[in-house]
Structure 1
Amino acid sequence: MRSIWKGAISFGLVTIPVKLYSATEQKDVTFHQVHRKDGGRVRYKRVCTVDGEEVPYSDIAKGYELGTGEVVVLTDEDFEGLPLSTSRRIDVLQFAPADQIDPIYFAKSYYLEPDAQGAKPYVLLRDALESSGQVAVVKVALRQRESLATLRVRNGIFVLETMLWPDEIRTPDFPFLEEDIEVRAQELKMAESLITTMESDFDPSEYHDTYREALQEVIEAKVAGKEVVAAREEEEEGPAVDLMAALRASVEAAKKEREGAPAKQKKAGGKSKDEDRTASKRKTRKSA
């Protein structure tokens, strides 16, 4: 990984030099726009709407359009004069329980690595934060944009998660929220039963991007000169007319799928999650 930012965590009078890395990457199949006839790349020119001339990148500035249609042109010097007090600092503002922060605020995740002589204060703050069970609420400026963020510990590393500002979260204003929709007790009980039946520990490795894998196969088949056969699309069922019947059928289907899962894992040479939990309990009792 390559660091994209260098700065310091400012924690009281303690300064911890750190390097910042993107913690995630988008796995996607990328495409170019091409001419269907000969596969040639399609390029776009930056053309001024006033004089019709192509504009070199060095002559492009940022413009803010007013309600009247007029444009205020801002230069690099205008941005340099703005007060970004956190331009090279991650300022710790407070500590708070993680469950008080709604995940809707989170934007992007980054890893923080101690830089230079920062390893000891880094580990000190990391261990203290982890034992407290809280997260640090901080302020940081990345790419000329100041954001709130949280600092938490994951696998021994600080994870910085930038956050949206409160006025960037939209208020849901949907008509059904004002409707008096009656849910019968039997329906609620059946829905809760379905949730219980489908409950299990979350393991992200069990899931994968089937669309991207299928798309990659199509591309590989094209390269190999094979005929690409489209997969048969399953018909989507419409909304359930009898809600109770649909819930009951869903519970039964979930039970059957769950009963078949341990058999599949054993066939593959693995253990079911229930067996892992039982083994773990046995180890705990022996050590006691």
Structure 2
Amino acid sequence: MKLRKVTAATAVALALATAATACGSDKKSDGGSSSGGKTIKVGIKFDQPGIGQKTPQGYSGFDVDVATYVAKQLGYNADQIEWKESKSADRETMLQRGDVDFIVASYSITPKRQAKVDFAGPYLLAHQDVLLRADDNSIKSPSDLNSKKLCSVTGSTSAQNVKDKLAPKANLQQYQTYSQCLTGLQNGAVDALTTDDSILAGYASQAAFKGKFKLGGFKMTNENYGIGVKKGSDLKAKINSALEKMVSDGSWETAVKKNFGPANYKNEPAPKIGNIVQ
């Protein structure tokens, strides 16, 4: 009888301890809080070398470095970041649904997107450009792309922009991925690859392609990369403060050189917060 009483008391104590633990656990599981919660969900690209890439070793790229710095300023260590793949077509929806707290994914600020989400930044001014073989001296301006084989991915507006406005006689080749375009450029199946210069520099900076490609430096459009947040989120102001600090302490320049340097990417100076270059 005495043994049963001890067992019952022990059971009650265990139940109380379990309940307390559960309460504590609930209190800590506000992933996405900007005030030091357990985790923060950040959207990046998983397939853009130099920008945002998932590898067996982890995540790398300029956007990853920017996101990690920003998260730290918000109170999160690197191991508290939950990375989410943010494909271009899904970014606004992911923010609106609350799937992520912010997105750093070569996300150009445009009026159409600003109607749906808010942007901190910009944190990088990129331009549409072309990637060429290092030994090709026949393409020195956009007009030289006439009669050349110009590659971009299916559905991209970049190549069509060149064909419509700059080189109407360009022979447009559309592949499924930029990696396929890069292979085509390497083996001579195409003469140029076009998209944002930052993305091109990221591909060209891969160890396997070092010294094989060069950027044209044509600056055909302005692409103001911003950090997307949900409409009305107070994270916008906090992220802007983090970006200003990243520039002032030299971390921004270090990240640029680390991720784009091998391609001799001539980046623009760090943009001022709220300064959208048209």
> What TM-score do you get using the length of structure 2 for normalisation?
0.21
In our comparison, the structure showing a higher alpha carbon Rg is: 1
